[in-house]
Amino acid sequence: MIAVERLGKSFHDARRGWVEAVRDVAFECRPGEIFGLLGPNGAGKTTTLRMLSTVLKPTAGRAIVAGYDVVAAPEEVRRRIGFMSAGTGIYDRMTAWELVEYFGRLYGMPRDALRERMETVFDWLRMDDFRDVLGSKMSTGMKQKVSIARTIVHDPPVLIFDEPTSGLDVLVQRTVLDKILELRDMGKTVVFSTHSMSEVERLCSRVAVIYRGRLQAQGPIDELLATHGQPNVEELFFALIEKADAEAGAGAAS
């Protein structure tokens, strides 16, 4: 459902010239699976996921999402994905219901089908008690639920979550993760980025560690632990990062 091949993105920076934010990233993600992208801040997670959501154009490689190329058919891709990140906020001056309805209409859903779907989603996320509350008056937990509702209102086959739990308290975190698991069980293809090891251990069947814009390792968690001889994800993560730093240092020195 998601196939990424040698994906790369370079930005132009006035001071440093062309900077490769992401390089040679490749992975696959199938329906009913949660693929985890684990990495520290600035590793290239957001850039990678923004390329998958077609908001940024890759400068190298290609990515197929839900059967469409992100460069050749970005609108078809956007129609079939749900994307949620720390950057996708909700409107202050719109109620929960209005916001979800607005995006449902943008996805081209017919009025009646949309209303039915919204009832299901609001019920599933237990949002009925703040349907008519304006975004500015919502708690963080409510906002996060509205964001999830917005992400799934059109029932997309592919879901991309970019650090959906950052800055949330544990209660809300738990709700968000539970809902993501439920979505996986519904057969969705889910890509999930985080810098939290425990979330990866809890959610993901397969994981990729991204650092300095490159994938350092990827595969099922058990396999990765076995190959690298590490006891848990945290140790694996630091081992991979140390290795990458050492390589980068050697590269710079040579």
Task: Give least dist CB 243 to another protein, A.
Answer: 29
H-only helix segments in 35-89: 45-52, 74-79
Considering only 37, 38, 70, 78, the residue that binds another protein (CB under 8 A) is 78
18 forms bridges with which residues in the sheet? 12
Dist. CA 14–CA 36, nearest whole Å = 33
37 forms bridges with which residues in the sheet? 193, 208
Dist. CA 153–CA 160, nearest whole Å = 14
State yes or no: residue 231 binds another protein (CB under 8 A). no
Task: Give least dist CB 18 to another protein, A.
Answer: 6
Considering only 21, 38, 64, 90, the residue that binds another protein (CB under 8 A) is 90
Q: Which stretch binds another protein (CB under 8 A): 37-45, 82-90, 189-197, 230-238?
A: 82-90
Task: Give least dist CB 198 to another protein, A.
Answer: 26
Residues 9-38 that bind another protein (CB under 8 A): 11-15, 17-18
Residues 139-178 that bind another protein (CB under 8 A): 150
Q: Which is nearer to another protein, 107 or 124 (CB)?
A: 107
Q: Which is nearer to another protein, 125 or 236 (CB)?
A: 125
Considering only 27, 68, 97, 103, the residue that binds another protein (CB under 8 A) is 103
Task: Give least dist CB 74 to another protein, A.
Answer: 9
SS3 12: strand
Dist. CA 248–CA 254, nearest whole Å = 10
Q: Which is nearer to another protein, 59 or 230 (CB)?
A: 59
From 224, 200, 187, select the one nearest 33 (Cα to Cα): 187
SS3 210: strand
Task: Give least dist CB 76 to another protein, A.
Answer: 8
Where in 30-113 does DSSP place strands (E)? 33-38, 60-65, 68-69, 81-85
Enumerate residues 6+ apart whose C-beta is below 8 A from 200: 36, 38, 194, 207, 221, 233
Q: Which residues bind another protein (CB under 8 A)?
A: 11-15, 17-18, 53-57, 75, 78-79, 81, 83, 85-94, 102-103, 105-108, 150
